[in-house]
């Protein structure tokens, strides 16, 4: 069994749900989270300017058998390749050795 973690901006909510559905995922959880990006390059020019950006994002959590994982990766890579914006869907998987 695998644990899949997906983060994306709120605007990609429908796209992530579509990717999961078309990959055979039957159930998942998601919640609103604050994404954070520190654009500071450490120069003195940014001393008085806030360089911390927060974004409304989503965190999807999926527990799934291994056969769907590669399809999810392929669909996310395809989606990200089409994006003209800097925002992408981020995906990570973790091996679950034991669960109840």
Strands (E), 1-100: 2-9, 29-38, 52-64, 90-95
- Identify the CA nearest to 62 among candidates 89, 44, 87: 89
What mean pLDDT do residues 10-19 have?
96
pLDDT for position 39: 63
Mean pLDDT over 73-96 rounds to: 93
Domains of the chain: 2-37+50-90 (3.30.70.120)
Q: Which residue has the higher pLDDT, 54 or 64?
A: 64
pTM for the predicted model, two decimal places: 0.82
Contacts with 93 (C-beta within 8 Å, 6 or more apart), sequence order: 2, 3, 4, 5, 69
Q: Which two tokens stand for residue 77?
A: 């890579």
């Amino acid at each position: 069994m695998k644990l899949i973690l997906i983060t994306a901006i709120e605007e990609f909510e429908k796209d992530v749900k579509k990717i999961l559905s078309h990959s055979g995922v039957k159930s998942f959880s998601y919640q609103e989270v604050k994404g954070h990006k520190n654009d500071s390059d450490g120069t003195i020019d940014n001393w008085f300017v806030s360089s911390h950006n927060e974004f409304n994002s989503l965190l999807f959590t999926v527990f799934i058998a291994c056969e769907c994982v590669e399809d999810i990766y392929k669909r996310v890579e395809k989606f990200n390749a089409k994006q003209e914006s800097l925002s992408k869907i981020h995906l990570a998987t973790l091996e679950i050795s034991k669960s109840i």
